[in-house]
Amino acid sequence: MAAKKSKKKTKPTVPPTTTRSSKTSRSSRPPEFYSARTLAPPPPKAAPSNERFAWARSLIRDVPDFPKPGILFKDITTLLAVPRAFHMVLDGIAERFIGEHVDAVVGVEARGFIFGGALAARLNASFVPARKPGKLPAAADRVAYITEYSTAELEMHLGAIREGARVIVVDDVLATGGTARAAAELVQRQGGDVVAFAFVVELSFIGGRAKLAPIPVESIITY
């Protein structure tokens, strides 16, 4: 009869735990221990916005003579139809506010709602709509303003903005800047601090940016 093999298990050997040298100083730690804000090297310089977002830009449709003769309408619905492009544009705006505290995002009716709502969720901020007259159900404040092709009014619910809140105003297109400035005025009347304006498209040849100065303007795609 063959001798029974011993079933005794051999204990797996555990590699010795690395002990941290008492000499390890802050400066000799590997880079992954650095606090991103204070000690990490600066990020590589980003490509100019139009270059980086050339593909998203190519998805914006030009519609001549809308809503009236002489206006070249920048139609963003063709960009929204492509999920990756929508994400890229939102991320492009959101990353400009990394490290900044934003309490609220104001979106201007109607296309500003599309980007403003999604941006507020990305920034963990409140979303506040600035609406055309007569749409808001509760008591609201109102301002009148002039756009590239019309005169208009905007309203905001009273009490929508907390005193001292840091706010960004978002819309799809910056043309003359009248709409964004009206939205900012509604914020400021409630004691909010408009820290920036953000747009997907800036029609730089119209010069709206100057109208919004000295508040910083962020835009993703410039014509």
Site string for ligand AMP, 26-65 (x = CB under 6 A): ----------------------------------------
Given the complex with ligand AMP, which of 82 and 110 has the nearer CB atom?
Answer: 110
Q: Which stretch binds ligand AMP (CB under 6 A): 13-21, 42-50, 128-136, 166-174?
A: 166-174
Cα-Cα end-to-end distance for the chain:
92
Given 148, 166, 195, 215, the residue binding ligand AMP (CB under 6 A): 148
Given the complex with ligand AMP, which of 94 and 206 has the nearer CB atom?
Answer: 206
Instruction: At 23, give phi and psi (nearest 5°).
Output: -85, -10
Q: Is residue 188 within the footprint of ligand AMP (CB under 6 A)?
A: no
| 148 is an active site residue | yes
d(CA 45, CA 22): 38
d(CA 160, CA 192): 10
d(CA 102, CA 194): 10
Q: Is residue 71 within the footprint of ligand AMP (CB under 6 A)?
A: yes
Q: Is residue 108 within the footprint of ligand AMP (CB under 6 A)?
A: yes
CB of 201 to ligand AMP, least distance (A): 7
| 111 is an active site residue | yes
Sorted by sequence, the CB contacts under 8 Å of residue 64 that are 6+ apart come out as 71, 72, 73
Q: Is residue 222 within the footprint of ligand AMP (CB under 6 A)?
A: no
Which pair of structure tokens corresponds to residue 70? 């002489």
d(CA 102, CA 100): 6
d(CA 169, CA 194): 7
Catalytic residues: 111, 148
Binding site for ligand AMP (CB under 6 A): 71-74, 108, 111, 147-148, 171-179, 203, 208
